[in-house]
Amino acid sequence: MVWALALILGLYAEQWWILLLPFALGLALLVIYRMDWALYALATITPLSILIDDASLGFAIQIPTDPLMIMISSALIMRWILLKPPSSAVLWNPITVFLGLWMLWMTYIIPVSSQPIVSVKFILSNAWKIIPCYFGAIMLFRESGRAIRFWWLYLIPLTFVAVWSLWHHAEDGFTKEASYWASEPFVINHGIYGAMLGFMIPLVILHLIRPYAFFRLIWIRPILLALLIVLVIAVTMSYTRAAWASLIAALGFYLFLLLKIQFRWLMLLAILATTLIAINSGPLLMYLMRNKTDSQDRLDKHLESISNVRSDASNLERLNRWASGFRMLSERPWMGWGPGTYMLEYAPFQNPYEKTIISTNNADVGGIHSEYFGPLIESGIPGFLFFVGILLASLQRGMSLWYRLKDEDQQRDRLILLCAMLGLVTYYTHGFFNNYLDMDKTAFLFWSGLALITSMDARYTSET
């Protein structure tokens, strides 16, 4: 009845959006009466969402995830106000504390932003991703097994997207250029696609190694193996070098865990490595300048081009964006230029001799290409420290908990925790070269991974 009425009104008024009202009503009822199902629905539809970026609208929207995220966020806020806020164990968890400080700092600097309206939109967009994917997921993950169900509901449609992409990519001979559009309309950027695959591959590998910790089906291992093969082929043919590097980083992190290396030693190693690179930056740059291999269709040459800072346009453009960003930072080191403003402000800070064939002055081709430089330049040094604090807190709490879970009845939770940590490490690594937290598909994985660590940490800490 509702659908028929919407159809009649839509045809009469010649307004297609009226046909969506029954779906919106259904989602609203789902959010109100079954929040867990609404979150599962969000997991399922996120890999299949479509980005609508129409200049006439004045904004971009991801359908249907953005409307559903806004509905879930509104319902959760009302629940906190009228019924019960998140527990103190969640609110005072270091991850949540740094997250709150980061959001509060970005809100505080809106008045001094170079474009306040843009900053308000940026913060709201982040909020309606964080509330359902972090706080909503924490509520859902009170039973840790739900996290696996949550991520599998994301993985199944992602596998469809991978098969879709491979099919269309094959039609063009698996060329590098075709990898940029093969995953459309579901994923508009091969880097986002590679980050999604990179995050989920460790989960599938752990399921393959220990299938009976998650499933009771004796025939599940061949299916998991087939799934892993599809995902590995997909991430390989995505031509996303950052995704390849992120999987190597996840393997290295897993070896650290096996060696029982504590977080403080991991941080000390990172500081020493950074110091050595800074001290030897000159000779290192001269060495990298010897690499003349550009990114290309041959996978081995494409991999080799990762360190080409002499002629590879993609690498050189990153250096151009980063150099422009540091010039911006020198003018506003503490307050930054305002959340979400880098793309609109960096053009005048480019040096002509640093520009590449893909440089632009129109704010229409990518952002700063770094999940770390973005907060630094847009939110200043405090904003950068709060954002990095989220990542470091997740590693510290996750590693500490992983070492503590030794009992036999805790091994399933330990594996689920490992899935989250390895997935997050892939994104933390990917974040050195790209920034995709404004996209629903990667933000979902990032915030839900943090939610799993926070939820499990709060649960086991309260039990001790």
Domain boundaries, the chain: 34-267+372-463
Q: Are 118 and 378 in contact (CB under 8 A)?
A: no
Give SS3 for 312: coil
pLDDT digits (tens, 9 = 90+) for 236-265: 999 999 999 999 999 999 999 999 999 999
pLDDT digits (tens, 9 = 90+) for 58-93: 667 888 899 999 999 999 999 999 988 999 999 999
Q: Which residues contact 33 (CB under 8 A, 6 or more apart)?
A: none
Interatomic CA distance for residues 292 and 311, integer angstroms: 6
Lookup result for tokens 């709201």: 124
| Cβ-based neighbour number of residue 234 at 10 Å | 26
* Confidence (pLDDT) at 210: 83
Give SS3 for 445: helix
411: its two tokens: 């091994």
User: Which residue numbers in the chain have pLDDT < 70?
Assistant: 1-24, 54-59, 213, 216-218, 281, 285-311, 363-366, 462-464
Lookup result for tokens 């505080």: 108
User: CA angle, corner 376, sides to 374 and 379, nearest 5?
Assistant: 90
What region does 93 belong to: left with phi over 0, alpha with psi -120 to 50, or beta?
A: beta
260: its two tokens: 């029982």
Q: pTM of this prediction?
A: 0.93
Q: Are 442 and 448 in contact (CB under 8 A)?
A: no
Q: Are 431 and 370 in contact (CB under 8 A)?
A: yes
Pairing of strands 59-63, 50-54: antiparallel
Q: Are 251 and 259 in contact (CB under 8 A)?
A: no
Cα–Cα distance list, 190 to 133, 185, 236 (Å): 23, 11, 11
Interatomic CA distance for residues 322 and 314, integer angstroms: 12
Interatomic CA distance for residues 228 and 191, integer angstroms: 19
361 forms beta bridges with: none
Interatomic CA distance for residues 299 and 447, integer angstroms: 32
* Confidence (pLDDT) at 293: 67
Q: What is the DSSP letter of 310?
A: S
* Confidence (pLDDT) at 13: 52
Cα–Cα distance list, 165 to 10, 171, 179, 225, 313 (Å): 34, 10, 8, 20, 25
* Confidence (pLDDT) at 79: 92
Lookup result for tokens 């600097």: 109
* Confidence (pLDDT) at 58: 62
Interatomic CA distance for residues 200 and 402, integer angstroms: 19
| The residue type at 239 | Y
Interatomic CA distance for residues 242 and 40, integer angstroms: 29
* CA proximity to 132, closest of 78, 77, 72, 92: 72
